[in-house]
Amino acid sequence: MADPAINEYGIEIRRLYKVFGPKAAELVPLVEGGMSKTELNEKHGHVLGLRDINISMPAGCIQVIMGLSGSGKSTLIRHINRLIDPTSGEVVVGGEDVVKMTPDQLREFRRHKTAMVFQKFALLPHRNVLENTVYGLEVQGVPRAKQVETAAHWLERVGLKGFEQKYPNQLSGGMQQRVGLARALTNDAPILLMDEAFSALDPLIRMDMQTILLDLQKDIRKTIVFITHDLDEALRLGDQIAILRDGEMVQQGTGQDIVMRPADDYISSFVEHVNRGKVIRVETLMAKGPADAALPQLPAGTLLDEAARRIIASGQERFAVVDGEGRPLGTIDMATINRGMFASDAA
């Protein structure tokens, strides 16, 4: 079930444009030529959804797509399983262009390669938790015994054992979204699409769900595309983050990249209130070079928060940063860490 086989389904989005309206295809050249969203709306009455989106999402990683409402993030994720057809561009998944698939191929693709979790849960209200969870397998035509077995496994993993016979209406929002997650995982597809999956939940439950997702991802290694409008959530979950505004890609990179080198004022204003100690890692700020073997060691990848705690506890001023095999990469001291945590121009 939790097949740890190497996931080969990366997602490549290339030159993706989406214009909403009856004559969308004719207007793409204008948009390519640089016509703005407002101008397109005023002159032609068409709405620009996405402009020239290029993202490469590596297999087995969590790619977060962030943006405020109206930024086109939900439109973008729906292009990956083609719930929305692009006006032009390519969406290549595992070497195949989703845009060129016939309806039959697309249905097979959705059944076996993708699973989706929705902001409003979108559970079937007339089916109980178990019947909701088996839905994907039922559609695939998997034998009933196997459906139930797989569903029971994932329901247990998300902490819903004992709730199989409840109806969605009887559950809280957090529990309903666990059903949504179990339903998607039961499908056992290499790609998991999560459209603002935790946005409707209250903050504590949201943290809970993020923890569940991160724990699961250690085993399942799926290619996860996660949409959110919450930067803290993006930084916590994302191996890579892409930020959209008005249908355009503003910045792509790791959480650290975005926090330390915001591409413009728009992103700076987002990043301002972030707890940098939970995003930036020691190797980013360390002084590269040989380290004294006598220094206490910090593994590379330690967050500044944790590093500061260790340094304070040890009473030492300076630490060596070492890689997985214990080879020194450089050194870091408390003053650097403090600067990194509080100054916005530390890098």
The CB-of-240 to other proteins minimum distance in angstroms stands at: 23
Is residue 221 within 8 A of residue 7, CB to CB? The reply is yes
DSSP run (H or E) holding 179: helix 173-186
Does 147 contact other proteins by CB under 8 A? no
Site for other proteins contains 154 (CB under 8 A): no
Q: Is 319:311 a contact under the CB 8 Å cutoff? A: yes
The span from the CA of 261 to the CA of 271, in Å, is: 10
Q: Is 125 in the site for other proteins (CB under 8 A)?
A: yes
Selected from 158, 171, 260, 311, the binder of other proteins by CB under 8 A is 171
The nearest distance, CB 127 to other proteins, in angstroms, is 8
| Phi and psi angles of residue 135, each rounded to the nearest 5 degrees, phi first | -50, -50
At its nearest, how many Å lie between other proteins and the CB of residue 119?
A: 8
| 138 near other proteins, judged by CB under 8 A | yes
Closer residue to other proteins (CB): 181 or 231: 181
Site for other proteins in 269-298 (CB under 8 A): none
The C-alpha atoms of residue 67 and residue 11 are separated, in whole angstroms, by 19
Label residue 68 left, alpha or beta by phi (over 0 means left) and psi (-120 to 50 means alpha).
beta
**CB of residue 180 to other proteins, shortest distance in Å:** 8
Among 15, 43, 100, 107, interactor with other proteins by CB under 8 A: 107
Alpha-carbon separation of residue 320 from 36, 39, 281 (angstroms) = 51, 55, 13
Segment near other proteins (CB under 8 A), from 4-12, 35-43, 111-119, 237-245?
111-119
Among 15, 126, 161, 309, binds other proteins (CB under 8 A): 126
> How far is Cα 333 from Cα 320, in angstroms, rounded to an integer?
9
Q: Among residues 184 and 332, whose Cβ is nearest to other proteins?
A: 184
Report the first-to-last Cα separation within the chain, whole angstroms: 44
Extract the tokens encoding 244: 């959209």
C-alpha span between 91 and 113 (Å, rounded): 14
* Residue (171 or 209) nearer to other proteins, CB: 171
Asked whether position 65 contacts other proteins by CB under 8 A, the answer is: no
Q: How far is CA 150 from CA 145, 181, 183, 311, in A?
A: 9, 13, 10, 46
Q: Is 150 in the site for other proteins (CB under 8 A)?
A: no
Residue 49 zone, left/alpha/beta (φ > 0; ψ -120 to 50; rest): alpha
Choices 43-51, 137-145, 229-237, 262-270; region in contact with other proteins by CB under 8 A: 137-145
Nearer residue to other proteins within complex by CB, 112 or 339: 112
Interface map 22-61 toward other proteins (x if CB under 8 A): ----------------------------------------
Count of chain residues binding other proteins (CB under 8 A)? 30
Of 4-12, 64-72, 107-115, 276-284, the window that binds other proteins (rule: CB under 8 A) is 107-115
Q: Least CB distance from residue 172 to other proteins, whole Å?
A: 6
By CB under 8 A, which span of 20-28, 85-93, 135-143, 145-153 interacts with other proteins? 135-143
Cα 159 off chain centre by: 22
- Site membership for other proteins, residue 220 (CB under 8 A): no
Among the listed residues 256, 254, 261, the one whose alpha carbon sits nearest the alpha carbon of residue 63: 254
H-helix or E-strand containing 332? strand 328-333
Cross-strand pairs, 92: 12, 97
Contact between 114 and other proteins by CB under 8 A: the answer reads yes
- 9 near other proteins (CB under 8 A): no
What distance in Å separates the CA atoms of residue 291 and residue 233, rounded to the nearest whole number?
35
Residue 327 near residue 320 (C-beta atoms within 8 A)? no
- Residues forming the site for other proteins (CB under 8 A): 81, 83, 107-112, 114-116, 118, 120, 122-126, 135-136, 138-140, 167, 169-172, 187, 193
